[in-house]
Amino acid sequence: MSDMPATSITLLRAVSSGAESIRWTEFVQRYDGLMRTFLGRYYPTLEADDVIQDVLVSLTKALPGYSYTPDEKGHFHNYLLGVVRHKAVDAVRRNASEDRKRKGFADAPKAGKEQGEETKWREDLMHAALEQLMADGSIAPRNREIFRHVALLGEAPEQVASDFGVSRGNVDVIKKRMVDRLQTLVSAMLENG
């Protein structure tokens, strides 16, 4: 996914005006490849057209309240991929639920396959919680970036501390707080899911 489409602020404003905007065609042409590549890489078993349709419906509701501020909230493609991931996780859950209903509880899959599905479901849940955490506006952008570098990208804490001009202890504290919040999000999703 190295070919990220350039963000057009005028295009975002145009499609934010509503679902009837004639520029939605341009929006889809610009971002369709990015969404399909992401879905193909992380959710190859899902029907991409269905997920993308859900994403576009969600965006017609969300974009009127969205303000593009890359310095504070990150780039639009990150926001868009967060919506795609969220809708993909919803589809995975929906498909799993439908499969269970079709097969019935008596015809449960064999233990190995069941564990694989459970692992995949937990990974999807973790991705959704992580996306929510990283989009949380109450967390300072700098703290999100420090967490991303040390926990998600696996960079050495000493290097991250040096890069961000903080102490190694601060990096550890930020990482622990973020992990604690992530665990809280996962627990809440499990309770509500």
Could you tell me which of 79, 55, 78 has the C-alpha nearest to residue 66?
79
pTM over 0.85? The answer is no
pLDDT at 191: 67
Would you state the pLDDT for residue 192? 59
Full set of structural domains in the chain with CATH: 1-103 (1.10.1740.10)
Q: Which of 184, 144, 193 is nearest to 164 (CA)?
A: 144
The single-letter DSSP state of residue 165 is T
What string of pLDDT tens digits covers the 193 residues of the chain? Answer: 546 788 888 899 888 887 777 899 999 999 999 999 989 888 888 899 999 999 999 999 888 888 888 777 788 888 899 899 989 888 888 877 776 666 655 454 555 555 567 677 777 778 787 888 888 888 888 998 898 888 877 888 898 899 889 999 999 999 999 888 888 877 777 765 5
Look at phi and psi of residue 125 and say left if phi exceeds 0, alpha if psi is from -120 to 50, else beta. alpha
